[in-house]
Amino acid sequence: MGSRRLRAGPAAWFLSALLALMLAAAGAARAADEAARLAPEAVVLENGLTLVVVANPNMPAVAHYVFYKAGSIDEPRGKSGIAHFLEHLMFKGTPSVPDAAFSRVIASNGGRDNAFTSYDFTGYYQFVPADKLPLAMEMEADRMANLSFSEAQVESERRVILEERFSRTDNNPSAQLREQTRAALFLNHPYRLPVIGWEHEMRGLSYADARAFYQRWYAPNNAIVVVGGRVTMAEAKPLAERTYGRIPARPLPDRDVVQEPTRVAETRIELASDKVRQPYVNRAYVAPSLFSGDARHAYPLEVLAVVMGSGVSSRLNRALVLEGSLAVSAGTSYDSNQRGPATFNLFATPRQDVPVPAVEAAIGAEVERVLAKGVTQAEVDRAIRRVQDAAVYARDSLSGPARIVGSALAIGLPLAEVDAWPERIGKVTVAEVEAAARAVFRPENLATSILLPKRPQGS
């Protein structure tokens, strides 16, 4: 069946790739941007399924994605991990496709497939030759409507996800620290729960739990199908209508919107382990997203993240790596495209024999410098140019355009808003970046996490 990779929310590359593609799609002034236009087309089938085509005739194949607008954020209380568990069970077959045969059929037709679970959505994809797109659509539509799994398969697959948790989290101090940090950073929101689930709750997940989640959320009117590469809408729409279009829509439940309470205290977490060879420092701030909190700060925070921590000339890299010789690497991450609140992270890996407090203080000094002296127009301009330049590389990816557009739509971002990204980013001002920094870089919004080697007793 192949490996099923857990995706705990959109990765750091998502921000730069999304911004780059949106800037390219809007056609910036340069010829390179014109050549990188995505020009996605979208239609809604009669049963409510959204079909998007991102055509690129230069690609030798097609990428076929199905996004369900349901992730770990939608799990019932006490059932953490059920969204990811169902992702695994989706490969158990249907009456017409035997257990674990899905991936074998795709591979035998020259393709590959996989799936991922995030906080906000779940995705399934195949990369196949263009003439095999009908097969991929037929098989995905089949398991959208006719998934079949047994109690025995549930028990077997539970052992798989428990082993996944052990190998990727419980046996990995960095992953443990990230998990503990999110649990401390978010006081009430489901983002505080791990996508893979807490072990004790994973052990109790049942056949009924998985079947209920499937029937609750896996409906065509809660799905987005995105096809990219060597395909046109004229080709894809009849295929989608013949496969997905036959599945009747179902009533969808109302989503609970969980709000975070106001934080009043800074949080600090330290984890020491004999498995750690190199320390790590991270400052995570609760921040607005496009869908949560003061959304007017979202676009300026995208720019601030590049100014402070993306590239050789970024502030953290200059202060900690190039000039200060305190760290081997340093950077930032921020993603405004989330249904709930976002996080703004500043992080560094200290050089050998450099005290962790020195690195932590240096990161704090850069935060204070932004608050006290702001950013320059040159930095803002450079950050936007950096995003524009990335568009040239992003356009040539088979999977990137389809995945990025689908991820944005899956969290509720309209296609028109996706197209408006470059305009929004291009209008960000120095004053707006500085206001966003003041709104986010507050002690009560902060969770500092430190990863340390465990020293032998008595040393």
When divided into structural domains, the chain yields a total of 2
**In-domain check, residue 255:** no
Of the chain, the end-to-end C-alpha distance in Å amounts to 48
Question: Rounded distance, CA 186 to CA 292, Å?
Answer: 13
Using the 8-state DSSP alphabet, how is residue 94 labeled? Answer: B
206 in the same domain as 141:
yes
Question: Rounded distance, CA 149 to CA 215, Å?
Answer: 13
What is the pLDDT at residue 100?
86
238 in the same domain as 316:
no
**In-domain check, residue 23:** yes
Question: Rounded distance, CA 394 to CA 387, Å?
Answer: 11
187 in the same domain as 306:
no
Looking at this protein, which amino acid is placed at residue 420? A
Diameter over CA atoms, the chain: 72
230 in the same domain as 175:
yes
Is 117:195 a contact under the CB 8 Å cutoff? yes
Which of residues 215, 246, 277 is at a domain's end? 246
Cβ–Cβ contacts within 10 Å for residue 192, how many? Answer: 15
Residues 6+ apart with CB under 8 A from 158: 85, 202, 203, 205
* The two three-digit tokens of residue 197, written as one number: 């689930």
Phi, psi of 41 (to 5 degrees): -115, 140
**In-domain check, residue 139:** yes
**In-domain check, residue 368:** yes
What is the domain-level CATH number for residue 422? 3.30.830.10
What is the pLDDT at residue 385?
81
Which of residues 214, 246, 278 is at a domain's end? 246
Give exposure, 202-221, as e/b (b: 16+ Cβ within 10 Å): beebeeebbeebbeebbbbb
Question: Rounded distance, CA 349 to CA 326, Å?
Answer: 9
Mind telling me the catalytic residues?
A: 87
Number of residues that this document lists for the chain: 459
Question: pTM of the full predicted structure?
Answer: 0.90
**In-domain check, residue 2:** no
Residue with tokens 């969980």: 258
Nearest to 440 by CA among 289, 293, 285, 282: 285
**In-domain check, residue 253:** no
Phi, psi of 38 (to 5 degrees): -90, -40
Question: Rounded distance, CA 14 to CA 32, Å?
Answer: 21
271 in the same domain as 242:
no
208 in the same domain as 348:
no
Is 250:405 a contact under the CB 8 Å cutoff? no
Question: Rounded distance, CA 390 to CA 19, Å?
Answer: 9
272 in the same domain as 221:
no
61 in the same domain as 201:
yes
437 in the same domain as 369:
yes
* The two three-digit tokens of residue 339, written as one number: 């249904």
313 in the same domain as 240:
no
179 in the same domain as 275:
no
**In-domain check, residue 7:** no
Which of residues 246, 275, 306 is at a domain's end? 246
User: Residue 149 sits in which domain range?
Assistant: 12-246
pLDDT along the chain (459 residues), means of 10: 37 42 42 52 97 93 98 97 98 94 97 97 98 98 98 97 97 97 96 98 98 98 97 97 98 91 96 96 97 93 95 96 97 94 98 96 98 98 79 73 92 84 84 98 98 77
294 in the same domain as 194:
no
Chain centroid, CA 225 distance in Å: 17
**In-domain check, residue 260:** no
